[in-house]
Structure 1
């Protein structure tokens, strides 16, 4: 058997690489639409967790604007604005960033708040997750018109929102971010719904 020359070896490696790249391209092209559909459905599921899907009839995921660092999804019913969902992040969690969705209807009532991502301590700060506790529901139906009140804080700070035993930083961060986002909505509502 004749030993391979460097050129023969290089050609074999090149052919193998070409085949692998071709297979990866085929798989990508065969699955890209399914991946896009799955991503779109995951976004809709997240948005519908803070806003009842019967309250709007537009394509919520595609009626989106960027404004001062917020991604804002606008809900409409019969071409009339009914609510907005603000995607927001606070850097003041115990272990870093906490991503939130905050739904606010046109009258200024919070329709829901959900945590999208976090790295809070399991068993303590992770009670912000809907599957761990119902704490995040405490924002529902609160009015953004009351956000100037001192009661819009955790109980330890003189407010009305519970904190977790051994974990006050996480709920404080979320309460403050929801308040900040609500005030932003209140001040920019006309621009948001243009």
Structure 2
């Protein structure tokens, strides 16, 4: 085989390799996207009871992006509905902990009560503040059923700060950050029901 023929063969093989790679990526992309969406869906929707909504909340994002609140920032959110009626909002909130940012998912029912709180991302100290990443999480479950007015604003603090909540052992800063972020989200919901659930009042 002469040199020119070898070059042609190499070019053809390279072309076939590139074509095969492109074909695999192109045909596999929808499957990968669907699998990632399923993972995201499970991760984001497990705060909601399966029978509490009948839409695809991830297909109904709320018009929220980088909204600065008193102690945190809203990064986005989703609306859950049933029979066309709003049932809950899922708010993605970011706050600053001891080691870095903490991203939370905060589920609030259409009546303004907390359905649950979950940690999506965090970089806190393992075995201390990092415990907020555990799921299910007993400390975060203490917020379920609370609202903007239950407890009153002064109650949204650690017991050591004359509030109503215990702290994660050895993680005062992390605990304060999460409590403040949850309170921020409830306050935002209470002040913007029209934008979030299309109603000027809670159910």
**TM-score normalised to the size of structure 2?**
0.82
CA distance in structure 2 between the aligned counterparts of 1:16 and 1:150, rounded to whole angstroms? 71
Alignment-derived partner of residue 174 in structure 2: 170
- 2:139 equivalent to 1:155: no
Alignment-derived partner of residue 80 in structure 2: 75
Preserved CA contact (<8 Å) 2:121 2:133: no
Alignment gaps of 5+ in structure 2: 67-74, 199-203
Alignment-derived partner of residue 59 in structure 1: 56
Q: Deviations over 1:50-99 (max 9, x none)?
A: 21121111111101122252412111111111111111111x11111111
- 2:141 equivalent to 1:137: yes
Q: Deviations over 1:3-48 (max 9, x none)?
A: x79xx77994x65654443233122123212211112212221232
CA distance in structure 2 between the aligned counterparts of 1:165 and 1:65, rounded to whole angstroms? 35
- 2:123 equivalent to 1:126: no
Q: Deviations over 1:127-157 (max 9, x none)?
A: 1123484211111111122364211112222
* 1:118 shift after superposition: 0.8
Preserved CA contact (<8 Å) 1:110 1:144: no
Q: Among 12, 26, 33, which residue is 1:29 paired with?
A: 26
CA distance in structure 2 between the aligned counterparts of 1:58 and 1:132, rounded to whole angstroms? 24
Alignment-derived partner of residue 46 in structure 1: 43
- Of stretches 146-155 and 97-106 in structure 1, the one that deviates more from structure 2 is 146-155
How many residues align? The count is 190
Preserved CA contact (<8 Å) 2:77 2:92: yes
Alignment gaps of 5+ in structure 1: none
- Residue 156 to residue 128, structure 1, CA distance change in 2 (3 Å): same
